[in-house]
Amino acid sequence: MEAITRDDMKVSVKGDLMTLGAMAQSIVISDISGRQALRLAATSTADLSGLAPGLYVYEIISDGRRTAGKFVK
């Protein structure tokens, strides 16, 4: 997947790794039905290896700004 820039936050998902362009206060990843699949704090990367293949949505909070998007694993 190519990098996505939303609200000045660069988000890149390649294989089992999500990389952010800045440190996030929180990352929440949910499956398409809304069930939370992963929650992380104070990081700029997320290991996605524990997620089953499918469509996911993410919400990132960094510097008080919210960035949201989706990706396919």
Model pLDDT for residues 33-46, shown as the tens digit of each residue:
999 999 999 999 99
Q: Decide if 30 contacts 51 (C-beta within 8 A).
A: no
Provide the domain limits for residue 49.
Answer: 4-72
Within a 13 Å sphere around the CA of 71, how many CA atoms are in the beta-carbon half? 23
**Per-residue tokens: 43:** 């990081």
Say how many domains are in the chain: 1
Q: To the nearest 5 percent, what fractions of the chain are helix, strand and coil?
A: 0, 70, 30
Q: What is the pTM of this model?
A: 0.85
Residue 11 has pLDDT above 70, yes or no: yes
**Per-residue tokens: 32:** 């398409």
Model pLDDT for residues 44-67, shown as the tens digit of each residue:
999 999 999 999 999 999 888 888
Domain of 30: which CATH number?
Answer: 2.60.40.3080
Q: What is the pLDDT of residue 2?
A: 43
